[in-house]
Amino acid sequence: MTVFPVLITVIITLINGILSKSVELTFELPDSAVECFYEQIEKNTSAALEYQVITGGQYDVDVKVEGPNKQIIYQQQKMQYDSHQFTAQQTGVYKVCFSNEFSTFSHKLVYMELNVGPEKALPGVGDHATVLTQLETSANDIHLALNQIIDHQTHHRLREAQSRKRAEDLNERVFWWSMGETFAILCVALAQVMILKNFFSDKPTLYSRM
């Protein structure tokens, strides 16, 4: 009997997440390129931007947020990760741009999340004037806990992907360094053999000719 309300809460949370105005994506940013995303935001609506460079180069990117009248709301250069909250001063289309123009050969993988407006409450919770029932309170607590779990899982996945990529790059560097050392050792050994061979070779001398 206790599993059924939990399942209902999970389904409602998923539906609420789909209906809420939130954008979360991971995209590739080629070298010397700019990627922009657009969102319609109403006046006096709060918004939150969070991003992180997962792979590529020095794990940095240029970020800029522009308002409808081209006013700069947020701008940072060569950032690995950051978050920014702002309130729309007017209704219109807001632009979020990620630039990799300073990099000429390394493309990057970037994670971005844009939340617009306050999070919607669970359907049926808070619609009446009476005090919340125990079931509604439990459902709301589960809803908040699930959102926190989703955020933690997202950050752990990003850290894991970034750490795995760095480990792969380090492993590749160690491999090629080891191959270079092996080649250098072989060259030195071959040179030593040739030099020693010349020391013990029978060459005609002046006394042997006489």
- Whether 141 and 85 map to the same domain: the answer is no
Gap between the Cα atoms of 110 and 82, Å rounded: 12
- Whether 106 and 140 map to the same domain: the answer is no
Residue 206 lies in a domain: no
Which residue, chain included where needed, has tokens 């080891």?
Answer: 178
User: What is the pLDDT, as a whole number, of residue 16?
Assistant: 42
Give 17 or 86, the one with higher predicted confidence.
86
Give how far Cα 192 sits from Cα of 47, 179, 188, Å.
70, 20, 6
pLDDT greater than 60 at residue 18: no
pLDDT digits (tens, 9 = 90+) for 120-134: 666 655 555 555 677
Count the Cβ atoms, other than its own, within 10 Å of residue 42: 12
Token code pair at residue 30: 């080629």
- Whether 107 and 176 map to the same domain: the answer is no
Give 183 or 154, the one with higher predicted confidence.
183
Q: What phi-psi label fits residue 44: left (phi over 0), alpha (psi between -120 and 50 degrees) or beta?
A: left
- The amino acid at residue 103 is S
Residue pair 20/114 in contact (Cβ under 8 Å)? The answer is no
pLDDT digits (tens, 9 = 90+) for 64-115: 999 998 899 999 999 988 889 999 999 999 999 999 988 888 888 899 989 8
- Whether 112 and 67 map to the same domain: the answer is yes
User: What is the pLDDT, as a whole number, of residue 119?
Assistant: 67
Residue 49 lies in a domain: yes
Domain that holds residue 45: 22-116
